[in-house]
Amino acid sequence: MHAPMNQFRVIDGELVIGGERLSALAARVGQTPFYAYDRSLLRARVAQLREVLPKGVKLHYAMKANPMPAVVGLMAGLVDGIDVASAGELKIALDAGADPSEVSFAGPGKRNAELRQAVASRVLVNVESFREVSELEVISSDLGLPARVAVRVNPDFELKGSGMKMGGGPKQFGVDAEQVPALLADIGRAGLAFEGFHLFAGSQNLRAESICDAQLKSYELAVRLAQDAPLPVKFLNLGGGFGIPYFPGEQRLDLAPIGENLSQLAHRAQNELPDASFVIELGRYLVGEAGVYIARVVDRKVSRGQVFLVIDGGLHHHLSASGNFGQVIRKNYPVMIGNKIGSMPMENASVVGPLCTPLDLLADLMRLPVARVGDLAVVFQSGAYGASASPQGFLGHPACVEVLV
Ligand SMILES: *Cc1c(COP(=O)(O)O)cnc(C)c1O
């Protein structure tokens, strides 16, 4: 069983998104397929986090999860900062009105031109190599602006139970904890404005306990590393990794223990890192559950007894729902017939896209109401790593549309 997708209302068997029934919304958009992101759910999610996180913890949006400019614009007004991972994202964040003093820029291969744009924009650069420090020294003297830097640390531990590990062991991200003292000395010699540390252990974790454990270890590592820092720590970015339920058997993350853990750490920090604000950076947890992907059934076929609903959207718009974006074993996202919720009879059907590849499978033998040509298939949990994480040029089908409603 999938976790209930009860973040959306249903009226007369029809899903309601952004206050609009699905069929009316599809008419308004004027085409299928499309992504729709619900503003009220985005606001509610931020409010829910604010309630649980201790005051003073800064909430950042990692915009690679959903870089649609309208979404970033909305989020910029709700959260405390935006985390970008390219100069392209930096432009969208600044266009959206994000405050540069609360924008940070991470990524393992920042080009010199991107570093220059970051310094000129006065955003915080999470440095990930010795080369970045020497390049930033040159840029700072060129522009007459000391680069604001934090050190992204590749920790000496991993995030247990995380879908994607991004720290611990040999990694292309950050600088190994044991090399950080030497890097901090370089930063001091280069006269850069050191502001803190960034630790990101991994992504898509549904176990509060392992998130708390990673936060504690990250905190303690930062306290140790701070002894060699040229200036006091102003920002301590403890990462995020909060997951959302995608697959059968998964349940929503329990935030309460995470809030408690952060309160304890914030209390310790009053003595150990007195100038530091904690930052939590979240992508999918903020936007993932607020978005759906909608495509129309264009054909219904029965092949040797198995029903195939062929829809006008597929992996070219939604690679992750097809199972080809970091899944080891393919599992179904929650998929429904959005204009027939609760309708009878039901049948087992596979929902496939129009691409000429067997990878274009959005639901494998799911229990669904019997659907006809013209019905609307909905893929839930699609607000993150959807449109921008998909190979839209593959096979020459129309680009998808995104709406914020
Ligand atoms: C991708 C990424 C995130 C966001 O991850 P989610 O799983 O979407 O929350 C946050 N921080 C960094 C450094 C990232 O690379």
- Of 200, 210, 253, 289, best ligand 1 pocket probe by most atoms within 8 Å of the beta carbon: 200
Rounded distance between C-alpha atoms, residue 241 and residue 214, angstroms:
10
Q: What is the pLDDT of residue 165?
A: 72
CB of 240 shorter than 6 A to ligand 1: yes
Ligand 1 atom at shortest distance from the alpha carbon of 285:
9
Backbone torsion region of residue 19, taken as left when φ is above 0, otherwise alpha when ψ lies between -120 and 50, otherwise beta: left
Ligand 1 pocket test, pick from 63, 83, 124, 218 with the greatest ligand atom count within 8 Å of Cβ, gives: 83
Q: What's the pTM value of the predicted model, to 2 decimals?
A: 0.97
- Cβ 65 vs Cβ 287: under 8 Å: yes
Q: How far is CA 281 from the centre of its chain?
A: 9
Gap from CA of 102 to ligand 1 centroid (Å): 16
Q: Ligand 1: does its nearest atom lie under 6 Å from the Cβ of 384?
A: yes
Predicted confidence at residue 160, as pLDDT, reads 72
Per-residue pLDDT at 219: 98
Would you state the pLDDT for residue 162? 63
What pLDDT score does 157 carry? 81
At residue 167, the pLDDT reads 74
Tell me the CA–centroid distance for residue 282 and ligand 1, in Å. Answer: 6
10-residue averages of pLDDT along the chain (405 residues): 97 97 98 98 98 96 98 98 98 98 97 98 98 98 98 86 74 96 98 97 94 97 98 97 98 98 98 98 98 98 98 98 94 98 97 97 98 98 98 95 98
Identify the structural domains of the chain with CATH numbers, from first to last: 9-37+289-404 (2.40.37.10), 106-282 (3.20.20.10)
